[in-house]
Structure 1
Amino acid sequence: MENITQPLNETFITKYLSAADYNPTHDAMLERTLERIALKKEQGVRTPDELWIVDHNDVYTLGQAGKEEHILQRTDTPIIKTDRGGQVTWHGHGQLVVYWLFDLHSLGWSVRNLVSHAEQAIEDVMNECLQDSDVSKSDNISAHARRDAPGVYLYADMPEPDSHADMQINDTPDDDKIMLGKMASLGFKIKHGFSYHGIAVNLNCDLSAFNAINPCGYAGMQMLRLSDFVTMQKAPSAQDTQQISNALSYEQVTQKLIDNIAKRHAGLIELRALAPK
């Protein structure tokens, strides 16, 4: 497991973990959170907040209140009980996992603020990618959060009224859009005002792993990935080292998300009004 730490400023650090097994990563995240809690309580020290960018080895994780019934099929992939909120989900290569180790009290954020900042950061970056004409494969797709189900979902503009009389509108953010599925999930744990765990965004992962579960406890939830809607680079093989020059890379999308979160952390991006119920 490769571990690279990059301080952005005195209050914000990014840490990169590649090919990371779940349990050691979780244990390190919890240990760091407990250290920060102790330093604040015992010495009044505010430690830098940390953003952990993780490329996980394949794993299913089941949240604190997770129900085994949402695991539909047992595979060779490990299933691990963990202490975040939410039900069962999958993590693996091609999915961008970002853990938010934040001191919410020092930031002046409520738990609702944290969730909204996470969702809106994903919305910002996904919509920027979806609207980039050089990489977008569709000009009528957009990313939105929902009040009734945490995460970020993709929606398509509805066809003209006379052509969708029999179509079912499914929890749309407004009346002229139809939900296609879910691209990003989130689940946090708060301990003494400090957050850990975070978000998972499907970039160019193999979505078949979700077939063995009810993702986040929703039977039949269609999971989506960014690479189906924009042109993304694939890892070069020995035979083909040429990359499509106008394609997005996993690293570029990651950096866009880090930059957006860092601005929110610094108070440079304010929360928008919450998504409608």
Structure 2
Amino acid sequence: MPRFPEVHWLGESRDYRATWAAMRRFTARRTSETPDAFWALTHPPVFTQGLAGRAEHLLAPGRIPVVPTDRGGQVTYHGPGQLMLYTLVDLRRAGLGPREWVQTLEQSVIDWLADRGVLAERRADAPGVYVNGAKIAALGLKIRQGRCYHGLSFNIDMDLAPFARINPCGYEGLAVTDVKRLLGDGEALPAIARELTDNLARCLP
């Protein structure tokens, strides 16, 4: 039987293209017995454009690279201080549909914030997690033969200025926030990743 999901802290400033390629290799090579995996890391500054991405949502990228990618959704920003949690999960084996997994990822962030006294919510029209209308976590998945990769970005302690260079997730003027602005200094990224992945792992058989 597949083992408990493997959790890997891959470190900070991991190149986006290289990480994306590694996720695709992992997914292509996995078998019915391969344990699921969670990869936690940060990226250097980069805009990523999902399969539904439209050029008009890239307002002024400047010197920050733009990478077209195969996840769902529009354009978003990744950079230092943002926790990336890539979920390499066999959804078919787990008996989960894409929408269920999206809601599970959202709930993991909502619960983490609730434990710290912050009320967060999801939106039916725009996947992600929001606090007082400002987006604090974004989601984008790719599912191939029932197996998922990509995942969740959670704003922890960021320079939020690059979000003004795009329409985040395709929404003009969408406000964004991060944990530090809500709570001040807190836990380190690897500790946050461990708490989120512990909760997510309990949702998998």
* TM-score normalized by the length of structure 2: 0.94
Mapping for residues 138-217 of structure 1, pairs under 5 Å: 141-155=118-132, 179=133, 181-217=134-170
- Distance apart, 1:254 and its partner CA: 2.2
Residue identity matched to 1:92: G
Distance 2:198 2:4 in 1: 14
Structure 1: which 5+ residue stretches go unaligned?
A: 1-8, 40-44, 132-140, 156-178, 233-246, 267-277
Q: Take 2:204 and 2:154, find their aligned partners in 1: how far apart are those partners?
A: 19
Structure 1: distance between partners of 2:34 and 2:176: 37
Q: Distance in 2 between matches of 1:263 and 1:92?
A: 29
- For 2:14, which of 7, 11, 20 is the aligned residue? 20
Q: Percent identity?
A: 38
1:65 aligns with 52
Tell me the amino acid that sits aligned with residue 248 of structure 1. E
Which residue of structure 2 aligns with residue 235 of structure 1?
A: none
Q: CA RMSD in A?
A: 1.4
- Structure 2 residues not aligned, in runs of 5+: none
Q: Provide the residue aligned with 1:10 in structure 2.
A: 3
1:151 is paired with a residue whose SS is strand
User: Which structure is higher in RCO with an 8 Å CA cutoff and minimum separation 6?
Assistant: 2
Q: Give the 5 Å matches for 1:64-83.
A: 64-83=51-70
Measure, in 1, the Cα distance between the counterparts of 2:18 and 2:130. Answer: 30
Q: Is the 8 A contact 2:85 2:193 kept in 1?
A: no
Contact 1:183 1:202 in 2 (8 A): yes
Corresponding position: 1:112 with 2:99: yes
Who is 1:260 aligned against?
199
User: Which string of whole-angstrom CA distances, capped at 9 and with x for unpartnered residues, describes residues 223-265 of structure 1?
Assistant: 1101011121xxxxxxxxxxxxxx4333332222122112222
Equivalenced residues, count: 203
Amino acid of the residue matched to residue 71 of structure 1? L
